[in-house]
Amino acid sequence: MDVGRTARAAGGLALGALAAQYVPSALALGQWSALTRVPGDLCRWRGPADRPAVALTFDDGPDPEGTPAVLDQLDAVGLRATFFCLGERAERFDDLVDEIGRRGHQVEVHGYRHEHHLARTPSWVGRDLAAAGRAMAGCGVRPRWYRPTYGQLTGATLLAARRQGWQLVLWSAWGREWTTTDPADVLFTVSRGLRPGAIVLLHDSDRFGVPGMARVARGALAPLAEELARRGLTAVTLDQLVASTGR
């Protein structure tokens, strides 16, 4: 028996397993690339660039302290958005999930708990996404899109999302509301990636970030609406942005 060869084979398998688990985290870097999506719809960062539209997206709700005010402001400035909701929050505030849809916005899924997948086992990730699916179904929502918390994912994330029938989506522009108290800073940061097909990340909750960040994001919506109009862009839901394009 060649003990050395056996050890090398075992080591190779272990390295392969680690790569399969953690290499997908590099997909988070896609926002800084020119890619629209990974073939096979493993992950998407943008919609097609041949239509004058963007998708505004909000993470971490629903939140009774942040979501209603964001919804009111979206209505006031005539913008449509997509809300990535946490399952545990949707269960507690299902009336807000209903309200998001009633006002013409899209509801998608952000997992069940707001935990970093790189610090969790594959079995935990699978259970979390299964629980999220049940929670959203209990709210009458059948998600198509899934955004992992913190924008980070593992091989287990990809497998669990595929098992639920969800397409993974990240973003190509973000507001970084947790870094400032000035909505003008959010507008400036978003504007650098604001072009046809952009998927913009904002937040309608402070619960997992810096206190006040949802208010800062909300304050940026009116000037953002003006900037979109100046550039000839329309804010649509994520489904509308990528509808029947295959791209």
CA separation (Å) from 187 to 66, 80, 217?
19, 17, 9
User: β-strands 173-174, 199-203: how paired?
Assistant: parallel
- Residues designated catalytic: 59, 203
CA separation (Å) from 85 to 90, 114, 184, 235?
6, 10, 26, 19
For the chain, domain boundaries:
3-242
Please report the pLDDT score of residue 33 as a whole number. 67
- Which residue from 83, 88, 54 is spatially nearest to 66, judged by alpha carbons? 83
Q: What is the DSSP string of 42-64?
A: S-BSB--TTSSEEEEEEEEE--T
Q: Tell me which architecture the domain covering 3-242 has in CATH.
A: Alpha-Beta Barrel (3.20)
Per-residue pLDDT of the chain (247 residues; tens, 9 = 90+): 555 554 444 334 333 333 345 444 555 555 656 667 766 667 899 999 999 999 999 999 999 999 999 999 999 999 999 999 999 999 999 999 999 999 999 999 999 999 999 889 999 999 999 999 999 999 999 999 999 999 988 889 999 999 999 999 999 999 999 999 999 999 999 999 999 999 999 999 999 999 999 999 999 999 999 999 999 999 999 999 998 554 5
The pTM (predicted TM-score) of the whole model is 0.88
3-state secondary structure of 135: helix
